[in-house]
Structure 1
Amino acid sequence: MITFFGILIILFGLITLILNPILKNNTFFQRFTTRRSIQILLVGIVFSIVSGTVFYAEPGTAYAVQYPWGGQKAVFRQGINTKMWGRLIPIQFELPIKYVIPGRDGELGEQSEYANVDVAKYWAFSDAVKARIATSVVISINTQDEAQFLSVADRNKTEKNLIRSRIIPNIDQSIKNTCKLMDAQDYISGQASDFDRYFKDQLENGMYVLEEYNESENREVIGDSSTVRTVVNQETKQKRFRIKIKDGLPVREPGNSLKGYGLTVVQAVVTEIDWEETFDKRLQLQKEEVAQTQLEKQQAEREFYRAQKEKARGEAEKAAERARLEKEQIQKTIAAETEAKVAEFNLVKEKKQFEVEKFKAQSKKVAADAEAYQNAKLVNAGLTPQERAEWEYKTAVGVARELKALKLPEFYIEGGGKDKAQANLLESLIGADLAKTMLKSNKQ
């Protein structure tokens, strides 16, 4: 721009210097004397000199400056730098290169002015299915090694030539090799990430050396122990390619790498694929088949879960009925156990009550025996016949009253004998022991 203005100023100074003597009566040219025209010429020359010695480096751009005397230098910093009438080779730090699938109207859509955009090409996969592959690649130049950058700039002359002659051929070769490594069906079945990985690796480190191989057909054995026949598929086998491996590493083509130019692959991805019409139809049929399969699978799952639901409901009802019956059983068992416990408790209570009453009766009997014995002693000690008769009467009445609680036998058998005949009715009522005691007392 400065050079352009300098040239304009020089031309203007020359015009005024030449036409001033000719057009002396012209008011406009009368303003420019010979001295002023020379001054304008000098200003134009200064502008031209300045524009040839310095230049402005734009941000994000590296410059290779080649001097007229054969020297050169690299400029990676933006701002004003000297070039001393040298030649400039500007190259962006990062070079965006895109393959775009055009729209129906043939337009490539809105793109950046700094990107190199081309129409996507058709490529064939290993199963002969063709597709337009849209890619987005970003290549970064080496700004750390000045000598390597100057070598690349010197050999390629311009940024556009570097892209067209070095980078794009590598991109095309990488896409071609990667397409040979897989079928179109493999790509849509989950190997898209492998495609991007192979694509970027070949761009940065060199092209794979591919080797052709045939997938071996497994022989099918038909027959029994007596007759065996081998059937081999006679159909034409599809050619397949794989990466040639040596010492565990892929073999690469020598001298075909962007790394040799100090270029680094920042990004290399497939953004879109436009399959050919026949494959699109096949994909549509597959999608419909998959959709139908998914629908049938969902229906089968729905029936399965419905059956599981009915089964669970039946199990729940069985569990509820079992719980109800177990509850009734437990209630009946508890009631029976309670009744048995109550009966056992009543039995123990009756036994205890019987023992208590028995001991009470024995206590009363002992007390009556003691009282009778005492009275007998008193009588023998010197009571009058009247007092003795009265004592015997009271004693008999008292003993009978005390023994009312006792349950005596209703019948008894008297034995014969001389001494037994002398026993009175009181002996039979109070028992053998009490009678014996009183009898002995009377004898004494």
Structure 2
Amino acid sequence: MITLFGILIILLGIVTLVTKPLFKNAKLLEWFTAKRSVQIIGIGIVLSIVTGTFFYAEPGTAYAVQYPWGGQKAVFRQGIHTKMWGRLIPIQFELPIKYVIPSQEHGLGEQSEYANVDEAKYWAFSDAVKARIATSVVISINTEDEGQFLSVADRNKTERNMIRSRIISNIDQSIKNTCKLMDAQDYISGQASDFDRYFKDQLENGMYVLEEYADNQTREIIGDSSTVRTIVNKDTKHKRFRIQIRNGEPVREKGNSLKAYGLTVIQAVVTEIDWEATFDNRLQLQKEEVAQTQLEKQQAEREFYRAQKEKARGEADKATERARLEKEQIQKTIAAETEAKVAEFNLVKEKKQFEVEKFKALSKKVAADAESYQNAKLVNAGLTPQERAEWDYKTSVGVARELKELRLPEIFIEGSSSKNSDNTLLESLIGADLAKQMMNKPEK
């Protein structure tokens, strides 16, 4: 711009210098004297020299400087650099390129002098469904290899020409090939990420070579899993494409890659898709059908879980009743075992008590026998009247006790005897029994 301004100043000086002698009486040219016209020409020459010798490199922009004598250089740093009246080819480090779906209110949206924004185009998927695809692509130039950058700048002349002739054509081809690889239904069913991956890979490494294959039969499982039937729908037959694979790698078109120009794809994504009206109607019907299916599925699941709940409740009641019965059974069993233990203990106790009483009775009887034997000895030995009275008392007490245990014969026959006839029958019997006991007892 400054160079053009300097050239205009030079032309102005030359015009005033030439026309001054021809129009001497013109008031407009009175100020332009010959000296001033020469000064104006000098100022224009200085401006042209200065602006032709130097230029200012803006940040984020690479420059290819082509000199008049055939040399060239690359400038990647900002600041003032020499160009020696050479030609400049500025190219941004990163080139944003966007396809936008226009709106009625804002059109293509905000524009920027550093971004290339175009209206999105219609593309056809493999099932012939068309849609406008909005994309956002960012391309980076190679600032490490000066020779490659100068070659790209020399072949494309300008940044805009490189975007239009190289980058946009590759973007369009990548979108077209990617659309052929899938149906519109596949895209909305979860293959959107595959679309972005194929799109970026082709844009950076080259276009896929596609091959057509037949895919008009769909294998579906009907009924149980052991019955597989093939359903053929001739109305939905359409061409299908897939990537040619060789040695495990996709086959690509030669010479159709941004990488060959030293360009790197930083970003390549689909930001929005505007489907055609017929497909939108189909999607709406599918959404309604899916919603109805989900509703029925939820109802079926609700009924299933309700049945499971009733079943679980029945199992819980059974478990509660079983626990109650088992508790009662355990209580009765423990009570019966306790009763048996108590009875067994009482039996042992009675046996022990019986033995204790038996030994007590024997002890008493032995003591009485010993006392009677001692008294008999004392009687035989002779006692004083006082001792005799005491012995009679004790003897009477012992005899009374022994009479309780004495068993008299039911039949007694009295006959003549040589004993004293003054003794009564009772005395005779008592005497006989005592005598018998004394005779049977050993002496101490």
TM-score band, normalised by shorter chain:
0.7 to 0.9
Residue in structure 1 matched with residue 383 of structure 2 by the alignment: 383
Residue in structure 1 matched with residue 309 of structure 2 by the alignment: 309
Query: Which shows bigger deviation, 134-143 or 300-309?
Result: 300-309
The partner residue of 1:425 within 412, 423, 430 is 430
Cα distance, 1:26 vs. partner? 8.4
Query: Which shows bigger deviation, 211-220 or 360-369?
Result: 211-220
Q: For 1:229-240, list aligned pairs within 5 A.
A: 235=234, 237-240=237-240
Q: How does the TM-score come out when normalised to structure 2?
A: 0.82
Q: Which amino acid aligns with 2:357?
A: E
Residue in structure 1 matched with residue 93 of structure 2 by the alignment: 93
Q: C-alpha offsets along residues 375-418 of structure 1, whole Å, 9 cap, x if unaligned? A: 333333333699557525513414655x79xx959787789999
* Equivalent pair of 2:372/2:398 in contact (CA under 8 Å): no
- Alpha-carbon distance in structure 2 between the residues aligned to 1:128 and 1:363: 126
Q: Which amino acid aligns with 1:425?
A: I
Cα distance, 1:165 vs. partner? 0.7
Residue in structure 2 matched with residue 364 of structure 1 by the alignment: 364
Query: Which shows bigger deviation, 7-16 or 368-377?
Result: 7-16
SS in structure 1 opposite 2:438?
Answer: helix
Do the aligned partners of residues 218 and 80 (structure 1) sit closer, same or farther apart at CA in structure 2, a change above 3 Å counting?
closer
* Equivalent pair of 1:19/1:29 in contact (CA under 8 Å): no
- Alpha-carbon distance in structure 2 between the residues aligned to 1:191 and 1:219: 20
Q: C-alpha offsets along residues 256-279 of structure 1, whole Å, 9 cap, x if unaligned? A: 111110111111111111111111
Q: Which amino acid aligns with 2:429?
A: N
* Paired residues, number: 423
SS in structure 2 opposite 1:424?
Answer: helix
Percent identity (aligned):
78
- Alpha-carbon distance in structure 1 between the residues aligned to 2:80 and 2:219: 76
- Alpha-carbon distance in structure 2 between the residues aligned to 1:25 and 1:279: 77
- Alpha-carbon distance in structure 2 between the residues aligned to 1:219 and 1:139: 43
Residue in structure 1 matched with residue 202 of structure 2 by the alignment: 202
- Alpha-carbon distance in structure 2 between the residues aligned to 1:219 and 1:188: 21
Residue in structure 2 matched with residue 192 of structure 1 by the alignment: 192
- Extract unaligned runs of 5+ from structure 2: 221-229, 418-425
Query: Which shows bigger deviation, 164-173 or 5-14?
Result: 5-14
Q: Which amino acid aligns with 1:178?
A: T
* Equivalent pair of 1:52/1:84 in contact (CA under 8 Å): yes
**Pairwise CA RMSD:** 3.9
Residue in structure 1 matched with residue 153 of structure 2 by the alignment: 153
- Alpha-carbon distance in structure 2 between the residues aligned to 1:199 and 1:214: 24
- Alpha-carbon distance in structure 1 between the residues aligned to 2:405 and 2:30: 177
Query: Which shows bigger deviation, 111-120 or 73-82?
Result: 111-120
- Alpha-carbon distance in structure 1 between the residues aligned to 2:110 and 2:377: 148
* Equivalent pair of 1:205/1:258 in contact (CA under 8 Å): yes
Residue in structure 1 matched with residue 130 of structure 2 by the alignment: 130
* Equivalent pair of 1:396/1:426 in contact (CA under 8 Å): no
Q: Which amino acid aligns with 1:316?
A: A
- Extract unaligned runs of 5+ from structure 1: 221-230, 429-433
Matched, 1:293 2:298: no
Do the aligned partners of residues 14 and 239 (structure 1) sit closer, same or farther apart at CA in structure 2, a change above 3 Å counting?
closer
Q: Which amino acid aligns with 1:369?
A: D
Matched, 1:42 2:47: no
Cα distance, 1:202 vs. partner? 0.8
Q: Which amino acid aligns with 2:438?
A: M
Do the aligned partners of residues 7 and 335 (structure 1) sit closer, same or farther apart at CA in structure 2, a change above 3 Å counting?
same
Query: Which shows bigger deviation, 176-185 or 100-109?
Result: 100-109
Query: Which shows bigger deviation, 383-392 or 191-200?
Result: 383-392
Do the aligned partners of residues 416 and 154 (structure 1) sit closer, same or farther apart at CA in structure 2, a change above 3 Å counting?
farther
Residue in structure 2 matched with residue 213 of structure 1 by the alignment: 213
- Alpha-carbon distance in structure 1 between the residues aligned to 2:405 and 2:16: 175
Q: Which amino acid aligns with 1:378?
A: L
- Alpha-carbon distance in structure 2 between the residues aligned to 1:93 and 1:65: 16
Q: Which amino acid aligns with 2:190?
A: G
SS in structure 2 opposite 1:136?
Answer: strand
Do the aligned partners of residues 386 and 20 (structure 1) sit closer, same or farther apart at CA in structure 2, a change above 3 Å counting?
same
Q: For 1:51-62, list aligned pairs within 5 A.
A: 51-62=51-62
* Equivalent pair of 2:216/2:234 in contact (CA under 8 Å): no
Q: C-alpha offsets along residues 48-98 of structure 1, whole Å, 9 cap, x if unaligned? A: 211111111111111100001100000011111111111000111111111
Do the aligned partners of residues 349 and 58 (structure 1) sit closer, same or farther apart at CA in structure 2, a change above 3 Å counting?
same
Q: C-alpha offsets along residues 136-185 of structure 1, whole Å, 9 cap, x if unaligned? A: 11111100000000000000000111011111111111111111111111
- Alpha-carbon distance in structure 2 between the residues aligned to 1:294 and 1:271: 29
* Equivalent pair of 1:377/1:441 in contact (CA under 8 Å): no
SS in structure 1 opposite 2:88?
Answer: strand
- Alpha-carbon distance in structure 1 between the residues aligned to 2:366 and 2:341: 37
Do the aligned partners of residues 327 and 155 (structure 1) sit closer, same or farther apart at CA in structure 2, a change above 3 Å counting?
same
Q: Which amino acid aligns with 2:430?
A: L
- Alpha-carbon distance in structure 2 between the residues aligned to 1:154 and 1:270: 32
Do the aligned partners of residues 425 and 33 (structure 1) sit closer, same or farther apart at CA in structure 2, a change above 3 Å counting?
farther
Cα distance, 1:368 vs. partner? 2.0
Do the aligned partners of residues 60 and 410 (structure 1) sit closer, same or farther apart at CA in structure 2, a change above 3 Å counting?
farther
Cα distance, 1:441 vs. partner? 7.0
